[in-house]
Structure 1
Amino acid sequence: MTERPSARIIDGVAISRQLRADVAARAGELTRKGVRPGLAVILVGEDPASQV
């Protein structure tokens, strides 16, 4: 007899809240050290849907 894999229910809302809190804390730490946090994006190719 083989074991069936068990399903794992995740709470996406709780995970996103925790992730946002972690990112905000890290960004705040950088700001206190005089580093301005930012986000950079690199587009590869000519797909119009990518150019938001």
Structure 2
Amino acid sequence: MIAVDIASKSANIEIGFLDRFSGSVVITGKVGAVESALKAVITGLVTILGFTGVEVTRT
């Protein structure tokens, strides 16, 4: 829920699917917006919850 909140406030994206029991989230939108939202989520989770961050890459 925290990740969805951060993502939706940081970029023009939509939540395609959210399962609060498993923690699964599908974020949809333009590639740049989704990438920006993911980076904001990672930064937020590192800052707020002390998680270890990862690099976002495209493949």
Structure 1 length normalisation: TM-score?
Answer: 0.41
Structure 2 length normalisation: TM-score?
Answer: 0.37
Name the larger-Rg structure: 1
- Greater RCO (Cα-Cα under 8 Å, separation 6 or more): 2
Structure ranking higher in strand proportion: 2
